[in-house]
Amino acid sequence: MFLSEIAKLIDGKKLWDFEDHDYKIAGASDMLSELLALAKENMILITGLCTPQMVRTADIVAVGAIVIVRGRQVPEVTVQIAKDMRIPMILTELTMYATCGKLFCAGLEDIYGVRK
């Protein structure tokens, strides 16, 4: 599923102007240690964290894109780091639960390869 489709599905807003890519896997976490342990390369990270540390950790594990939930106010420094690292970021007002549900029902796999 292309990131532009994902953004539309979750009423998301691009936080910087990135290229559209296709994604197959999504995972959700608000814990950096869990992200380090369970992330899959090129997955979409769904999180409520909006810190520079989260973006740097996402880069370490080669996350493909970040979706920030609950309409968090994302600091400009976080957006700039994501832009510098070429990690797309989308902001949605939806909760993590609703975001995960919509993406799972749309056909994205979880980190273990489970689909609807």
Domain boundaries, the chain: 3-105
The enclosing H or E element of 54 equals helix 52-60
Backbone torsions φ then ψ of 15, nearest 5 degrees: -90, -15
Q: What is the pLDDT of residues 65-96, one digit of tens each?
A: 999 999 999 999 999 999 999 999 999 999 99
3-state SS assignment for residue 70: coil
Q: What is the pLDDT of residues 35-57, one digit of tens each?
A: 999 999 999 999 999 999 999 99
The answer to whether residue 114 scores a pLDDT higher than 90 is no
Name the fold adopted by 3-105: 3.40.1390
Residue type, 72: R
How many CB atoms are closer than 10 A to CB 47?
24
Q: pTM for this one?
A: 0.95
